[in-house]
Amino acid sequence: MHRATLGCVRSTMSTRLPFSLLIGALLWPTDLLWSQSSTHLVVGTVRRPNGRPVAAATVELFESEERAATDSLGVFRLRTAWTGPAMLVARAVGDPPVTLEVQLPIDSAITMVLPRGVPRLMAFTVQPAGEFRLSSASTSSAMKPLDVVQTPGAAANVARALQIAPGVSNVDEGTGLFVRGGDVTETRVLVDDVVMLSPARFDNPTGHVGATLNPFLLSNATLSAGAFGAAYGNALSGVVRLETAGRPTRSTGSLSASIGNASADGAFAITPRFGARVLANVSNLGPLVAAFGEAQPYDPPPRGGDAALTLEYATSTHSRLRLFNVRQRQEFGVGAADVTGQSRYAATTSEQLTVLSWRDTSRLWRPSVSLGRSRHERDESLAALLLGTTLASDHAVATLQRAPGSRVGVTLGLEHERFTARYRGMSRDIGASADTFFDVRTPTERTGAHAELAWRMTPWMQLTTGLRADRSDFTKRTTVDPRVALATQRGAWGVVASVGAYHQIPEPILVRASMAAPMRVVQGTVALERGDANASRVRIEAYARRWRALAQFTPDFNVVADGEGTAHGVDTELRWQWREGSRTRLVWSVLDAQRTDPRTGVLALSPSSITHSVFWLTERAFGRLSINSALRYATGRPFTDIVGRTSTGDGFAPAYGAPNAERLPGYWRSDVSVSWLHAPRSGPTAVFWASLSNVFDRRNIMRYTWSTDYTVRTPVRSPFNRSVYAGATLLLP
C-alpha cells in the first residue's frame, strides 16, 4: 500500500523539526485498520501430557507473527488471513516451546501438548532498581515508537521523550540526558547492545545534544538510571537501551513532505523469514526561518538528513540475524555563542552506526552476539577555537543466558571495545603572538567480562548478584564492580533495593598523561511500588551516590582531575486511569547534587542539580478524537555569576562569583496535541492532526551573556517559541 501526505506547518522552533515522524506517528494506529476481509479463525487448546489445560500460554503463527493467548480452559482463538502451509508455536513461561505444522485455513480444532519444562514460578512484575520504562500504560513493557511521537513536546525525538523519565533533569532545551546529578557524557546509549557514540561532548550554545534515532527504526527503548546490572559497563550515571525494529510481517510504505522536511520509508516482507526496512529523511529549517523569523541568530539554520537500512533473516523459529545501518548528518551556526554574546558558533556533524546482531531463544541456554561500529565526526568553530573531532568505536558483545523460569538464572558475558579519538585544530589566546595548532590521536582498548546470578529465594523474593571487571590500556588499570539487588513482591506491592559500584573511562580529550584514572561512582537505591490491573501504579525511589576521580573541563578548556561529588534524591512516578481511554501520568524528581568546581577546586552545586523536575502528561480519547497534553516544570539551573572585572592590556577579564551560587529562573512549558481518525467503510482512511508546542509562549531563560566590559548582563531566551503544526494523512489501499 502507499501513503500520501498533505500538511501545513507554522513554526518558530529553532531545532530540527521531524514533521515526517509526526505524520507517521499519527498514521501508526491506522495500520491496525488494514482490511480484515478473507480472514479465518484458528481454534484449539493447549494442554499438558496429563490433559490439564495451560492457561495464559501464547500461540503464535510463525509466518505472520499473529498471536493469541489461552484462557483458563487452555482454549485459544487466533484470527488470521494467512493461507497455505503454516507453523503454530505454543509457549508458556518456564516451558520449552512446541511447534505444529498445519494447512490454513483449517475447520477443525487443534490440540497442542506442552510438556512441562523447568518449574513454573510466579512472574516478577516489579521493575529493577533505577529502571524506568516509558510505555503509555502502567505495564512493564518498554517504550514503543508511538509512545515517543505521542509525547507532547518531544517532537518525535527519542531522547526528548526519555527526558520525562524520573531521575532525568531538564537542564536545557537540548536532547542530552542528565541522570541523577551526573553529566550528560556519563550516560551511554546502546543500540542492539552496541555503543552509539553521542555528540554530547560540550555545552554548545543550543544546549546539550544526545545520541538518538528515528523512533520508527526502533521497537522499544529503556532508560536505566544508574542502577543497571553487571551486563553494562563504562557508564557512571545511566544506560539507554534501544532495540531496533525487526522484519515486518507485511509490506508498507510512506512519503511525507512539509515546509523544511521530506522523508520516505518502506517496510518489505520479502519472504516469511526475510524482511527489510528503509528510511530516508532530509530537513532544512531555512524556509521556516525565512517565513516566520528566528528565535536566535542562525547562520545557517539547522539542516541535515539521515538514511537507514535494516535487514533481518529468521534463521529458525526462535532465532534471527539482523543487520542495522544508519547515517546522519547535521549542520548549523548560531550567533551570541560565547560569554559576551559576540562570537559565532558553527558545527557540522556526521555519524554512522552499523550493527550485526544474532539472537537464539530456542534453547535452555540462550546465546546472543552483537558486532558494531560507530563513527562520529564533528567540525566546530568559535572565535578562539577551531576543533575537528573524529571518534570511532568497534564494539563486540557476547552473552549466554539461561532461560527464565527456574529458581536460578545465570548470565555470562564478554565484550571488547576499541575506541579511537582524533582531535585536531587551532586555539588562539588573547595576547598570544601566534596561534597554537594541535593534532592528537588517542587509541585505546577496553575488555570487559561479567557474571550475574539471579536466585529466586522464595516465590516472592529474588536476589540478583553480579560482578563486572573491565581493563583499559588507556588507564592501565583493572576495575572490579560488585552489584547486588534484592526484590520482593507480595500481591500488588513490590520493594526493590540495590547497591553497586560503576566505573567509566574518561574520554581521551579530558585526560592528560598524569590523569589517566577511571572515574568511579557508588550508588544505593531503594524503591517502593504498587500497581494493579486497572493501569494504575505508583513508584517512589530514593537514592544516594558518590563520585570519585572525575575528569572535568574548566571554562577555558583546561582539564582537571580528581573531582568528587555527591547526589541524593527521590524520584516519584504516578500513573492512573479513571475511565476507558483516559489516563494521566505525573513524574516528580527531587535532587540535591554537588561536585568539585573545576575552575576553583571547591565543592559546589552540580550544574545539573535541578532541585525539582515535574512532568504531568494526560491522554484523553473521545471515540476517534485523541487529545494529549503535557506540562513541564524545572527549578532553574545553577550558574556562576560574573560579579566584576579586571583590566587587561587588551580589555577586561571577568571576575567570577561563588561557583554555581546563582540559579536561572524556573523553567515552564506546556504542549498539546490533537488527532482525529476518519475511517469510512469504503474509501481511504484519513488522520487529521494538530500540535501546539509551548502553548503560553513562555520565554524561558537558558543562560546569560555579558557586554564586552562585563557590566551589562543579558538573558538568552529559549529557542522554542510557540509552534503550531497541522496536517492531514491519507492511507490509500
- Interatomic CA distance for residues 95 and 58, integer angstroms: 11
4 domain residue, yes or no:
no
Determine the structural domain holding residue 617 and report its residue range: 138-732
346 domain residue, yes or no:
yes
Q: How confident is the model at residue 4 (pLDDT cuts 50, 70, 90)?
A: very low
- Report the CATH number at residue 74: 2.60.40.1120
Among 450, 439, 398, 394, residue whose Cα is nearest residue 417: 394
Q: Quote the pTM value.
A: 0.78
Same domain, 149 and 78: no
Q: Indicate the average pLDDT of the chain.
A: 80
Confidence at residue 121, expressed as pLDDT on a 0 to 100 scale: 55
* Interval 345-369 mean pLDDT: 89
The upper half-sphere exposure of residue 516, i.e. CA atoms within 13 Å in the direction of its Cβ, equals 14
Confidence at residue 8, expressed as pLDDT on a 0 to 100 scale: 37
Judging by DSSP bridges, how do beta strands 612-622 and 625-634 pair with one another? antiparallel
Confidence at residue 143, expressed as pLDDT on a 0 to 100 scale: 46
pLDDT at 43 over 50: yes
614 domain residue, yes or no:
yes
Confidence at residue 515, expressed as pLDDT on a 0 to 100 scale: 60
Same domain, 489 and 625: yes
Same domain, 612 and 520: yes
- Interatomic CA distance for residues 652 and 645, integer angstroms: 6
For the chain, the domain total comes to 2
Same domain, 263 and 346: yes
Over residues 522-544, the pLDDT tens digits come to: 999 999 998 764 568 899 999 99
Same domain, 207 and 341: yes
- Interatomic CA distance for residues 608 and 176, integer angstroms: 11
Over residues 441-461, the pLDDT tens digits come to: 888 899 999 999 999 898 889
Q: Chain centroid to CA 340: how far?
A: 34
Q: Which of 97, 113, 129 is the last residue of a domain?
A: 113
Q: How confident is the model at residue 166 (pLDDT cuts 50, 70, 90)?
A: confident
Residues 6 or more apart whose CB falls under 8 angstroms from that of 108 comprise: none
* Interval 458-476 mean pLDDT: 91
More confident residue, 537 or 65: 537
- Interatomic CA distance for residues 478 and 511, integer angstroms: 18
Confidence at residue 135, expressed as pLDDT on a 0 to 100 scale: 42
Confidence at residue 218, expressed as pLDDT on a 0 to 100 scale: 81
* Interval 24-32 mean pLDDT: 36
More confident residue, 285 or 67: 67
- Alpha helix locations (H) across 232-311? 286-292
Same domain, 63 and 151: no
* Interval 6-13 mean pLDDT: 36
- Report the CATH number at residue 615: 2.40.170.20
- Interatomic CA distance for residues 657 and 640, integer angstroms: 6
As separate numbers, helices (DSSP H) first and strands (DSSP E) second, the chain gives: 4, 44
pLDDT at 497 over 80: yes
Q: Are 129 and 485 in contact (CB under 8 A)?
A: yes
Query: Which residue in the block uniquely carries the three cell numbers 501520568?
Result: 585
Point out the least confidently predicted range of 90-104, 201-215, 327-341.
201-215
Confidence at residue 156, expressed as pLDDT on a 0 to 100 scale: 60
Instruction: Provide the percentage of residues in the chain whose pLDDT is more than 90.
Output: 29
